[in-house]
Amino acid sequence: MGREDFDGHVKQVNTERTHAQQAFHLLAKPTGAVCNLDCAYCFFLSKEMLYPGSRFRMADELLERYIRELIDAHVNAPVVEVSWQGGEPTLMGLEFFRRSVELVNQYLQPGQVAEYTIQTNGTRLDEQWAAFFSEHDFLVGISLDGPREIHDVYRVTRGGRGSFDQVMRGLGHLRAGGVRFNVLTTVNAANEHRGREVYRFLRDECAARFVQFIPVIERVSEAGGDGEDPWFSWRDRPLYTQTGELVTNRSVSAEGYGRFLIDVFEEWVRRDVGEVYVQMFDTTLANWVGERAGMCVHCETCGLALALEHNGDVYSCDHFVEPRYRLGNIGEQRLVDLVGSERQKQFGLDKRDTLPRYCRECDLRFACHGGCPKDRFATTPDGESGLNYLCPSFKLFFNHVSQPMRLMSLLLAQNRAPAEIVQLYEKTDVRRGRNAPCPCGSGRKWKLCHGRGGRIPPPAEEALSPADRGRRRAGIDRPRSTDDTSRDERKNLELAEDRPDHPAARSEPPLTRLGER
Ligand code: SF4
Ligand code: SF4
């Protein structure tokens, strides 16, 4: 992605944020929790218990009502986001989605466009699905946890076999069909120590240009007697609710998510800024420049990302599909009324209003905002409840990236591409001794950690998707070098300007030795 592409992307993100302030996101689950896989950490599988006896298929009448209400609720918005999730939504079959596009076209108002997204495990995708997604410009999210030996630890079929090959085959169809896709990777006990390896796999083997990392935190009230998780699948358990102060052994550790992100960041910031979009890094930068963050988890308030079940029930959030958070049913109330209800507003405000004092007084609050309420089951050092389980991770990560985030926000303030930071890192890295400690904080030597291996050779032309071949021909993915930036320009990167008004500037030294933290 070049400078203009990046600027275009930033504009697009900004536009989306502006809309988000008026609009909302609704994740529709046409098959409810039903899925063809049996991922060990998927608490959502247990949600089948909410609807005993159901066929778990959204009826045509309800589909039409949903589409009509969704568009009605976006009467003043030029873009209507139509998002499908599960369970596994492709179990509905292609005809269901063809029909949904037909209905969207029928109800869209003049001047409005629809943006389609779908989150899938990828195992059922073939040429027909890819052609359909490509025709209607779907953005397809694929769930993939890393290379085979990592992915197959938890992401298994009902027969207990790894799903890696099926997912990669589905991804291959998307790439061959030129479909826009992003990868959703969970951070769990099996991959939390392998951030850089996972990231490189996604970037180099999967050609992912949009990546989301989601921490796995499975709450439980009691562990098994031997310290092991007493079950492998949530299908065997009672309904999962956001209760309990322990986590399963599959869950990421309280510091592990932060270390994983740092491991990825130290790779990304040296070569991929502006080329690979990592949702968490974009969100962090947004908070650093004072814009609304893309991830609700790190926004001050939330409540604009709801879930619709296969029977029309609307819940406050995809993570709170449980009886206490059911707002109503679109067969009985208008969707716009459910979304705008006092109850839902309060749900969103509670994210800010229930923060413990420890968070309210935290220097990193502007970037963190206490994380998602579902994970606030830890206790602060002074004994108050409601601290996020991932607080140690947030502190590690946000402190670690504070200097580069400041630098990128200053570049943006000068109307320059944040990607210029890559040259600064190169400049610092060439002066670093091979045996010096790696700046990622792993304790390993630079030469054995992020300084290892240098550049990864670009993939062969024939291994690229048509879209990536186009990018390469356009010179978008050429390797960078310090020659790309003139010496004078590099001098200008000694950014003397500062923004003392911003909370991030309060306790930081001037940015003169970037990368040497
Ligand atoms: S509860 Fe968590 S996931 Fe749900 S909208 Fe709020 S911050 Fe987002
Ligand atoms: S870093 Fe920890 S203390 Fe600070 S706002 Fe986040 S969760 Fe709260």
In DSSP notation, 261-328 reads HHHHHHHHHHHTTTTSEEHHHHHHHHHHHTSPPSSGGGSS----EEEE-TTSEEES-GGG-SGGGEEE
- In angstroms, the CA 335 to CA 68 distance is 10
Beta strands, E only, 88-201: 113-120, 139-143, 180-187
Mutate to test the pocket of ligand 2, among 284, 368, 375, 393 (most ligand atoms within 8 A of CB): 368
Which atom of ligand 1 sits closest to the CA of residue 317? 4
Q: Among all chains, which residue has been given the structure tokens 């999210």?
A: 141
371 Cβ closer than 6 Å to some ligand 2 atom: yes
- In angstroms, the CA 282 to CA 287 distance is 9
Which atom of ligand 2 sits closest to the CA of residue 390? 7
- In angstroms, the CA 258 to CA 261 distance is 5
Q: Among all chains, which residue has been given the structure tokens 């697009």?
A: 12
200 Cβ closer than 6 Å to some ligand 2 atom: no
Task: Compute the residue count for the chain.
Answer: 517
- In angstroms, the CA 285 to CA 12 distance is 15
The 10 Å Cβ neighbour count of residue 507 is 9
- Which residue lies with its CA nearest to atom 3 of ligand 2? 359
pLDDT of residue 84: 97
Which atom of ligand 2 sits closest to the CA of residue 362? 4
- Mutual orientation of helices 60-72 and 94-107 as an angle, nearest 10°? 40
Which atom of ligand 1 sits closest to the CA of residue 305? 5
Mutate to test the pocket of ligand 2, among 360, 377, 391, 397 (most ligand atoms within 8 A of CB): 391
Q: What does pTM read for this prediction? A: 0.82
Cα(264) to ligand 2 centroid in Å equals 21
Cα(301) to ligand 1 centroid in Å equals 9
Cα(151) to ligand 1 centroid in Å equals 25
Q: Among all chains, which residue has been given the structure tokens 């049996």?
A: 38
Cα(501) to ligand 1 centroid in Å equals 29
Per-residue pLDDT of the chain (517 residues; tens, 9 = 90+): 333 333 333 333 333 333 333 478 999 999 988 899 999 888 776 667 778 888 889 999 999 999 999 999 998 889 999 999 988 999 999 999 999 999 999 999 999 999 999 999 999 999 999 999 999 999 999 999 999 999 999 999 989 999 999 999 999 999 999 999 999 999 999 999 999 999 999 999 999 999 999 999 988 776 554 445 555 555 566 666 767 777 888 899 999 999 999 999 999 999 999 999 999 999 999 999 999 888 999 999 999 999 999 999 999 999 999 899 999 999 999 999 999 999 999 999 999 999 999 999 999 999 999 999 999 999 999 999 999 999 999 999 999 999 999 999 999 999 999 999 999 999 999 999 999 999 999 999 999 999 976 443 444 455 444 544 554 554 433 332 222 333 333 333 333 233 334 333 333 322 222 322 2
Q: Are 261 and 213 in contact (CB under 8 A)?
A: yes
Mutate to test the pocket of ligand 1, among 43, 319, 327 (most ligand atoms within 8 A of CB): 319
Cis status, amide bond into 32, omega within 30 of 0: no
- Listed in sequence order, the DSSP H helices in 326-389 are 335-339, 342-353, 357-360, 365-368
pLDDT of residue 42: 84
Query: Choosing from 5, 318, 350, 363, which is the catalytic residue?
Result: 318
pLDDT of residue 87: 87
pLDDT of residue 236: 60
CB proximity list for 413: less than 8 A, separation 6 or greater: 289, 497, 499
Type of residue numbered 151? H
- Which residue lies with its CA nearest to atom 2 of ligand 1? 372
Active site residue 137: no
CB proximity list for 265: less than 8 A, separation 6 or greater: 278, 281, 397, 400, 401, 404
Smallest-distance ligand from the CA of 322? 1
CB proximity list for 454: less than 8 A, separation 6 or greater: none
Of 374, 51, 39, 36, whose CA–CA distance to 234 is shortest? 39
317 Cβ closer than 6 Å to some ligand 1 atom: yes
pLDDT of residue 54: 83
* Residue 492: both structure tokens together: 């200008």
Q: Are 3 and 274 in contact (CB under 8 A)?
A: yes
pLDDT of residue 430: 93
- In angstroms, the CA 373 to CA 362 distance is 17
Cα(302) to ligand 1 centroid in Å equals 6
Q: Among all chains, which residue has been given the structure tokens 């689950």?
A: 29
